[in-house]
Amino acid sequence: MTTTASPDGTPEPRPDDDGGAPAEPTGQHADADGDTPPPPADPPPPADGGGRPDERFEALVSDVLGVDPDASRRKKLRWLSVKAAVGLLGVLGAVWVAYFMIEPSTVRENETNTGIDAAKTPFTVSVRPEEGAPSTWAMVLDRKLTADETRRLTTGDPGSAFSYLRELGGRPLVYASVMEHAPDRYERNTRDGRLELTDAFKMTVLSTRSSAVVIDGWKTTDITCHKSTMQTVVALPPQGGATYQGIRLHLPPRADEPVLTDDAEGQGESYFGTHYIEVGGGQPSGGLRVEAIAPPGQACEWGIKVHYNDSYQKGEWLQLKDAKGKPLRIRTESVPADLQQKWVFGSVAWTPCHKNPEGSLCDLV
C-alpha cells in the first residue's frame, strides 16, 4: 500500500498497485518476526460448578439421603426427618436390648464363675517341723555318741550344740507347753511327774477359692506305732514353764483333743469346739502349731482327716494328702526309758545322766 497527501497535507491511504483494499485494524500487533499472536482462550468454569453455597449443600444432602436433587426443599427436609427418626429408633433399640440382657448375662457369668470356683480343691495342707533351734529342746539319735563326738559336744560352745547334733543325724523334739490354766481333768490325764516331749510341727492350709472354706473338725487316722529305736538323748530343759500358741494331742487322742495350748481363756479345752480355720475368700492361708505326743518309748506314724464347710453348702470329711497326692503321714516319737546315753545342760554344766541319774535336771528328760 502507498499513501498520498491530501490537500491539507494529511496523508491518505490508497490501494496498492495490485488493487487490494486497505486492511481493517485488528487491535493486535505483529510480533517482531511479523507473526500475529492467537486470540486469548476462554477462562475455565469454576470447580464447584459455579453454583451458590446453599445450592451446593442441598446437592450434597440429596446425594447422602438418596433423594432426587430436583425434589422440593420440603420433601428433602421430610426425608431427612424420617432418616433421623429411624437412626434414633435403632440406637434406642440397641440400648433397650443391651439393658434387658445385662441381668441374664450377669447371672450366666456368675453361675460360670461359681461353678469354676466350686470345682477347685477346697484347700491344700503342708506340714513341716519347726525350723531353727527353739529355746528348749531335746535331740534324739538312734546310736550312741562316740568318745570324740562326746568330747566335741561337751567342750564346745553350748549354743552350737543343736546344729552339731543335727549334723550327726539327730531328730529334734521340744518340750510341750505348760498348761497352767487347763481344766483339772486334763491335768490329771497328763501329769506323770515329768515334762512331756513332743514332736512339734507347723501345719499350713492354703486355698485359691474366691469363697470362704471353714475347717471345723479334726480326726487322727491310721495310727501305727512301734518301739522307738533311739539310744541317745541330749536335752536343754526349760528353766520354767513355757506356753506356745496352737494345739496339742496325744496318740491315740484323748477326750476333746486336740486342745488349745494358748495361754488364754479356753486353754485345755477342745480347739474345734470353739475355734475353726478359715481360708479362701480373700484369706489365702491359715495354719496351726501342733504338739503331738506319742506313747512312752514309741514311734508312731499317723494321718489326719479334717471336716470342712464351704459357701456352696458342701460339708464333708477330707483325708489330708501330701504334695505327691498320697495320704499325709506324720511321724511322732517319744523318749524310751532304757536309753544308752542321756545328757542335759543349760543352767548346769554338761551332765551325763546315764552315769549319774540323780544329777540336776536329769528328771526332766
Residue % of the chain over a pLDDT of 90: 42
Q: Which amino acid is at 314?
A: K
DSSP state of 179: -
Q: Give the confidence band of 3 by pLDDT, cuts at 50, 70, 90.
A: very low
Chain centre distance of CA 342: 49
Do 213 and 315 touch, CB atoms closer than 8 A?
Answer: no
Query: Whose grid coordinates read 534324739?
Result: 140
3-state secondary structure of 272: helix
Calpha distance 191→179 (Å, rounded): 10
Q: Which amino acid is at 97?
A: V
Q: Which three cell numbers stand for residue 33?
A: 518476526
pLDDT at position 78 over 90:
no
Integer CA distances (angstroms), 193 to 190, 342, 346, 363, in order: 9, 18, 21, 9
Q: What is the pLDDT of residues 21-47, one digit of tens each?
A: 444 444 444 444 455 555 555 555 554
Distance in angstroms between the alpha carbons of the first and the last residue of the chain: 157
pLDDT at 22: 47
Weakest-pLDDT range from 57-66, 193-202, 356-365: 57-66
What is d(CA 249, CA 171) in angstroms, rounded to the nearest whole number?
A: 20
pTM: 0.67
